[in-house]
Structure 1
């Protein structure tokens, strides 16, 4: 699943920076779970777009995965200039307090 997400995001957004992090282990998933991911995407294509537009664009690209086994996707979308101003990178994901 991680490879599919990375390939699709790379093809759609030509990012200058892309991180796709499997966070399934933080959500009471099995050790080899592939259901919860965090994506950090830096792309010039986000210039002039509001956050909602960016997230909708990513969700459209990953619609098949979101409809199937991808349960959660935390998105952090930046333009190159926004990313350059981030000294600590994207925010850390909180620990999940729920479960299945």
Structure 2
């Protein structure tokens, strides 16, 4: 089993300049990643970047389910202003 801090560390190490927030525990997590590198990427490509960081943990069974939210810094600022995030 993993804790949110371990998942956060994997994400921030694997996605350049990312700020990750992870909630949950055991084998289920909600993941929020804000990264400039997401600029111009489709939602699917962004999720692929996140999964690339945690695939080993999914394959081993340490992570079973994730909910992923990805934003560029500008999108994140806008979402917060609009009360979405």
Q: TM-score, normalised by structure 2?
A: 0.83
Cα distance in 2, alignment partners of residues 66 and 89 from structure 1 = 28
Matched, 1:4 2:3: no
Q: CA RMSD in A?
A: 1.4
Match of 2:32 among 40, 59, 65: 40
Greater per-residue helix proportion: 2
**Aligned with 2:41: secondary structure?**
coil
- Of 2, 20, 23, 2:22 maps to 20
Gaps (5+ residues) in structure 2? Answer: none
Query: How many corresponding residue pairs?
Result: 79
Structure whose residues are more often strand by fraction: 2
TM-score using structure 1 length: 0.72
Give me the whole-angstrom Cα distance separating, in 1, the residues matched to 2:67 and 2:13: 19
